[in-house]
Amino acid sequence: MERLARFPASGLSAAAFCAQEGVALASFYAWKRRLAGADATQGAGPRLLSVRVATPRAALELLLPCGAIVRLLPDSDLIWVRAVVDALGGAS
């Protein structure tokens, strides 16, 4: 990072600067890109996003004789609910 900060003041081309510093030109450009990307993400401040809050729905709880509790939402599939209750041995 310090090396990249010295580059503009050196007055040298990237190739000459890298030769003087003993750094591969490809590494120099790779670090320059990486640090430029980091600066771009650091400069971005917090953003506000719109959200939609779901309306809470009442739930129904079934306490089965076997001790299991089945919580149902208003739009629960009754065929599925029946299958679950039967599987738990709660249907009489």
Is position 48 within any domain?
Answer: no
- Whether the pTM exceeds 0.85: the reply is no
**Looking at residue 43, what is its pLDDT?**
58
Mean pLDDT of the region 67-83: 87
Tell me: do 14 and 39 sit in the same domain: yes
Is position 51 within any domain?
Answer: no
Write the CA distances from 91 to 17, 18, 58, 82, 84, integer angstroms: 82, 79, 23, 8, 10
Q: Is the pLDDT of residue 92 over 60?
A: no
Q: Is the pLDDT of residue 53 over 70?
A: yes
- Cα separation of 66 and 87, whole Å? 11
Sorted by sequence, the CB contacts under 8 Å of residue 61 that are 6+ apart come out as 69, 70, 71, 72
Give the DSSP H or E segment for 38. helix 25-43
Tell me: do 34 and 61 sit in the same domain: no
Tell me: do 37 and 62 sit in the same domain: no
pLDDT band at 79 (very low <50, low <70, confident <90, very high): very high
Number of domain units in the chain: 2
Its domain, for residue 10, covers 2-43
Tell me: do 38 and 65 sit in the same domain: no
Q: Is the pLDDT of residue 44 over 70?
A: no
Tell me: do 7 and 39 sit in the same domain: yes
